[in-house]
Structure 1
């Protein structure tokens, strides 16, 4: 029994529980109350409710049970446990809001607002669950398979599957509501990618300069940032030259550009997006782990 729960941590479980509450709140208070569909297995549960009044909390469990075995084969014991927690927690959260809705929001006259908030709640909840290493079953497992073997982002795969389910939902919902639902799932997919990729988005800079040492020293002293010196060769001159690689927060980008122009106005540099960054100077406490000169 101890081996079964080996490696299970409380923090991911807590995040999954909060994520399912956020997701369920959005589904009940925005999608269900305003006649919107949804994507994935959640969209199927809503369609079953519209057609046969089967509560989403029940159909969510019934639809996901066959996928647990697939999830185990694909991702192993830990993810299976987190998926079980996510799926059961989602059904409990849905049932909770079905029985005790927090509030009634009369927004039928502003479906754009409904679509936006439905997408934000769904994306935030699912993003938290996925980032914690869990799923709510269903399309989440299929999305992780697509990411693992085909390199597709979780959000893009979910958007494609969602569009398919929404098309089927046209047998019950109006075309107008289907179009509003597409707005919802698109926003949700963007929010999911943002949460999974992290809010610590940064910028990486490749600097080619004849004053690499001066630039590196200035970056350390004036920005408290480290850098790495790489060796390259010019394609036209075939000369060996040094390339400085540096990662900074978005808010520090202007300061870095000004510093480069100040030290070497003739430096060539390129700037690229970094969707997630971890390590010294970003996720470590600088007071306890001071930067070391490169």
Structure 2
């Protein structure tokens, strides 16, 4: 989840990467201060821990985060080597400075800009997702729990993705120690934080890979030629025909593989229904498609 890239200084790739990085970092900081901190939420990361500390002891978010980020970067560099790159440092610094400016010079009247807790949670998830997605598109990471997960991954057999979820899940549990207006355990803080994490993940995928408007389809049918012809001639899409053997019957069968839009898929399904109602059709989301007719590798 950390990247080291060597874009040529001031090249289009360099300018694009740092634009994504700085804009994403600023959006993250603003989102945290406007939508997360006022509701005492902690959707993972060191900023989640900082929110809990801010709620309980009135410590500044920027100071708490600085006290955690710097040691994490140093320890991570010692244990993992220089894997983070200058852009991760730039991201961490930009977020810290923006948060400090907002805490220091902006009136606290910003608290609870959106009155409804659920609407606020949705907005926070969307903006968090946009910000982290932009940072990822710059081939960087915002540090924090990512570094913790990478350190744990070095000494365990657990995948990095699972470790990030575990670390962020534990941080979410910290919200339970925060006082509520009624004095009860703050389950609502944890629930809203988990909703933010879920929405954030979906938005990150959309920002990094684009909205999923396409489907991957695989059809097993005796009328594969008619189906492939429909895809090629009417839908103007490419298709690949594979040779397969049924595990149960032992018979050789042909499989047609293709990628197309949702609208095109519905047209194809009607054709399959006409020529072979017994066909086996498997449809999955195509989150990222690179190649002729779709996104070029030069644009990635």
Normalising by the smaller structure, the TM-score range is 0.7 to 0.9
The answer to whether structure 1 residue 271 and structure 2 residue 276 are counterparts is no
Distance 2:79 2:140 in 1: 13
Partner of 2:11: none
Task: Provide the residue aligned with 1:199 in structure 2.
Answer: 210
How far apart are residue 219 of structure 1 and its match?
0.6
Count of paired positions? 280
Structure 2 runs not aligned, ≥5 long: 9-13
Counterpart Cα distance in 2 of 1:177 and 1:116 = 19
Change (3 A) 1:238 1:159: closer
What's the offset of the Cα at 1:144? 5.6
2:123 corresponds in structure 1 to 117
Counterparts of 1:51 and 1:105, CA distance in 2: 16
RMSD value, Cα: 3.3
The TM-score normalised by the length of structure 1 is: 0.78
Report the counterpart of residue 70 of structure 2 in structure 1. Answer: 65
Compute the TM-score of the two structures, normalised by the length of structure 2: 0.77
Equivalent positions of 1:1-294 (< 5 A) are 6-7=6-7, 9-72=14-77, 77=82, 79-98=84-103, 99-100=105-106, 104=110, 106=112, 110-143=116-149, 150-151=158-159, 153=161, 157-174=163-180, 175=184, 177-196=186-205, 198-201=209-212, 202-284=214-296
CA change 1:90–1:241 in 2 (3 A) is same
How far off is 1:132 after superposition? 3.1
- Report Cα offsets for 1:161-204 as digits up to 9, x if no partner: 33422433444432565523432333333422442363343322
TM-aligned CA distance change 1:133 to 1:79, over 3 Å: farther
Where does structure 1 lack aligned partners over 5 or more consecutive residues?
A: 286-294
The worse-fitting range, judged by mean Cα deviation, of 188-197 and 62-71 is 188-197
- Superposition deviation, residue 237 in structure 1: 4.2
Cα distance 1:168–1:194, how it changes in 2: closer, same or farther (>3 A)?
A: closer
Deviations 1:29-81 (CA, angstroms, capped at 9, x unpaired): 12223344443210222233334433222332221112224544787656322
The Cα shift of 1:5 comes to 7.8
8 Å Cα contact 1:41-1:60 kept in structure 2: yes
Give me the whole-angstrom Cα distance separating, in 2, the residues matched to 1:222 and 1:116: 41
